[in-house]
């Protein structure tokens, strides 16, 4: 990699999201010599990422995406921008496809027109494997994508479009596939965040019981800082990764939601009564999620570093600060 490429800007789309805030801070630490650019759609820019250059962008606006890419001329793009809410994807499938596939294709076409070398980290999701999780083995990157909801299907389509880009353009593509990640700043709709918010409400005396749904599902959880560290490793060690490769980012194990709940409750001194809410009892389509991260660790040395207990404490402390 030439010096010029290692100094070209890094651009993050969807910088205002859960992962974006963590990634921008990590990029500033990892690449002090590079300018870091980020896109925001509507929300105000967060103060804690004041070191980066913000751009307003709707990823569905083809011309605006093209202009931005020409203006920033990035050496690396991390494409986080997405409609990432699964229940909402059933309510608004067209919007979900427009953002997750249409928006991604706008970006891919703009990158294809760049003359300089550029690395694209296309951020997918373990949800794309969907029905493949019915098999008992940990899924590796050769496992078929069998999406079970519009969010996962649109992300799987973008993952395939990114592979095609890697074959037919000079853009180097890595298709990252992060599994469930938790941490400070995650929206309340996610299970761990919802438990933590309710525990903090009980600690503050505003609520008596913790309402839960089905607790039998098992998931492969990482702390968001491990996911972000994997993205940084993929950028820094891009030459060790095959062009177009899919890369799982996961813990390699799975934890039952009931065990996560017990651990969270154990991190609080409050008296907590857990109650199953019939309204939340819909069984998950997938009983157990477990991935293999051998490709990533063999190529970069990355391994998860944050224990589940520390990750849960981080989520709880975040709600205590709010």
| Long-range contacts, stretch 23-32, CB < 8 angstroms, 24+ apart | 23/78, 23/80, 23/228, 23/231, 24/49, 24/51, 24/52, 25/49, 26/225, 26/228, 26/229, 26/231, 26/232, 27/52, 27/232, 28/52, 30/232, 30/235, 30/236, 31/235
As a whole number of angstroms, the distance between CA 60 and CA 13 comes to 12
Min CB(17)–ligand A2R separation in Å: 2
User: Between 202 and 289, whose beta carbon lies closer to ligand A2R?
Assistant: 289
Q: Which residues are near ligand A2R by CB under 6 A?
A: 14, 16-20, 40-43, 57-60, 80-84, 99, 103, 123, 125, 155, 178
As a whole number of angstroms, the distance between CA 210 and CA 204 comes to 13
Q: Which residue is nearest to ligand A2R (CB)?
A: 17
Min CB(147)–ligand A2R separation in Å: 12
Q: Judge contact between 239 and 167, C-beta under 8 A.
A: no
As a whole number of angstroms, the distance between CA 176 and CA 230 comes to 9
Output the six-digit token pair for 178: 């992060």
Min CB(24)–ligand A2R separation in Å: 11
User: Which phi-psi region, left, alpha or beta, contains residue 73 (left: φ > 0; alpha: ψ -120 to 50)?
Assistant: left
Min CB(213)–ligand A2R separation in Å: 20
Min CB(235)–ligand A2R separation in Å: 16
User: Between 191 and 202, whose beta carbon lies closer to ligand A2R?
Assistant: 191
Min CB(291)–ligand A2R separation in Å: 13
Min CB(123)–ligand A2R separation in Å: 4
> What is the side-by-side strand order in the sheet with 246-249?
53-56, 36-40, 10-13, 76-79, 119-123, 172-178, 246-249
User: Between 59 and 246, whose beta carbon lies closer to ligand A2R?
Assistant: 59
Beta strands 36-40 and 172-178 are unpaired
Query: Per DSSP, what are the bridge partners of residue 276?
Result: 212
User: Between 81 and 120, whose beta carbon lies closer to ligand A2R?
Assistant: 81
The DSSP call for residue 59 is T
């Amino acid at each position: 990699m030439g010096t010029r490429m290692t100094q070209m800007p890094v651009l993050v789309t969807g910088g205002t999201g859960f992962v974006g805030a963590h990634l921008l801070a990590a990029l500033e630490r990892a690449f002090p010599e590079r300018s870091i650019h980020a896109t925001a759609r509507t929300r105000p820019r967060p103060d804690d990422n004041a070191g980066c250059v913000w751009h307003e962008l709707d990823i569905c606006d083809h011309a605006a995406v093209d202009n931005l890419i020409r203006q920033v001329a990035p050496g690396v793009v991390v494409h986080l921008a997405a409609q990432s809410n699964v229940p909402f994807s059933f309510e608004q499938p067209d919007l979900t496809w427009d953002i997750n596939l249409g928006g991604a294709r706008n970006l891919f076409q703009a990158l294809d027109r760049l003359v300089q070398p550029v690395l694209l980290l296309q951020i997918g999701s373990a949800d794309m494997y969907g029905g493949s999780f019915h098999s008992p083995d940990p899924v590796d990157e050769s496992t078929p994508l069998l999406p079970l909801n519009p969010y996962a299907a649109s992300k799987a389509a973008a993952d395939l479009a990114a592979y095609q880009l890697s074959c037919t353009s000079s853009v180097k593509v890595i298709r990252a596939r992060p599994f469930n990640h938790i941490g400070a700043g995650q929206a309340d709709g996610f299970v761990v965040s919802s438990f933590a918010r309710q525990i903090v409400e009980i600690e503050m005396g505003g609520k008596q019981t913790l309402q839960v749904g089905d607790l039998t599902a098992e998931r492969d959880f990482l702390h968001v800082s491990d996911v972000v560290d994997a993205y940084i490793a993929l950028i820094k060690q891009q030459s060790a990764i095959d062009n177009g490769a899919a890369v799982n980012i996961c813990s390699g194990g799975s934890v039952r939601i009931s065990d996560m709940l017990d651990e969270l409750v154990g991190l609080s001194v409050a008296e907590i009564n857990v109650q199953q809410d019939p309204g939340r009892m819909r069984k998950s389509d997938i009983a157990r999620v477990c991935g293999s991260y051998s490709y990533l660790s063999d190529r970069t040395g990355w391994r998860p570093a944050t224990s589940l207990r520390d990750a849960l404490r981080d989520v709880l402390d975040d709600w205590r600060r709010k």
